[in-house]
Amino acid sequence: MSFTDLGTVKFLEFQQEKGYFRLVIAVNLAYKTKYLSMNVWKEELLRNTSGQRFQLEDTVRVTYHQDKYIKLVSLEDVLIEFCPTCYYGRERIETLRVDCQGCSGLQPQLQRERFNENMVLMSCTPKTYRYSTGYHLELQLSASGDTTTYVAVIFPNNPQVYIRADNFKVGATYTVIAWRNNKLLDVIEIDQI
């Protein structure tokens, strides 16, 4: 079965020893981000209409088959705009609509808050979870006297954060962009200040 999504290229790297490209595309859905991670054997699938290879942060329409693994069918340039409430990605022409199919039909208890704060990293612990390894992070807001501890887990399906997690410094201040659900953060991006 084929699926089509709109997303942003977050990781594209040639795996020399394996002979394929590793591609990760972030797809913004209502109040969350889905990562499509795949191996691409045919380099021509990674070229845009002008013949250039796609770059990081390019916005694309991706068509793929999904069985046990995700297999790329096609990748093409597209302009994407995001809903200001839920950050659902959709083609630019659709943004003229007032209602968003991402957040307008979602039950209020499933909605989450977009979080963009400077936070101090209190701990960063590598752990083995049921299906994958991950980094368990504990963070606190840096500006206020609030001592509330927020928790996040970084998994390999978020490669732009996961590959840097080993170098995170406890006690350092980071800008954290995430979806917040009470004290649990679903991290989209984290950068040291």
- Residue 116: what pLDDT? 86
Residue tagged 């994407």 (tokens): 80
Residue 2 carries which side chain, given as an amino acid letter? S
Residue 176: C-alpha distances to residues 36, 48, 180 (Å)? 22, 32, 11
In the structure encoding, which two tokens stand for residue 100, read together?
């968003």
- Residue 41: what pLDDT? 92
Q: What percent of the chain has pLDDT above 90?
A: 35
Residues of the chain with pLDDT under 70: 93-99, 102, 105-111, 144
- Residue 126: what pLDDT? 92
Which residues 6+ apart lie within 8 Å of 169 measured at CB? 121, 192
- Residue 40: what pLDDT? 92
- Residue 9: what pLDDT? 92
Secondary structure letter of residue 142 according to DSSP: S
The two beta strands, 59-66 and 70-77, are antiparallel
Q: Using alpha carbons only, give the angle 9, 47, 64 rounded to the nearest 5 degrees.
A: 60
Q: How far apart are CA 177 and CA 169, in angstroms?
A: 18
- Residue 97: what pLDDT? 57
Render pLDDT for 169-180 as a digit per residue (tens, 0 to 9). 999 999 998 888
Q: How far apart are CA 37 and CA 54, in angstroms?
A: 15
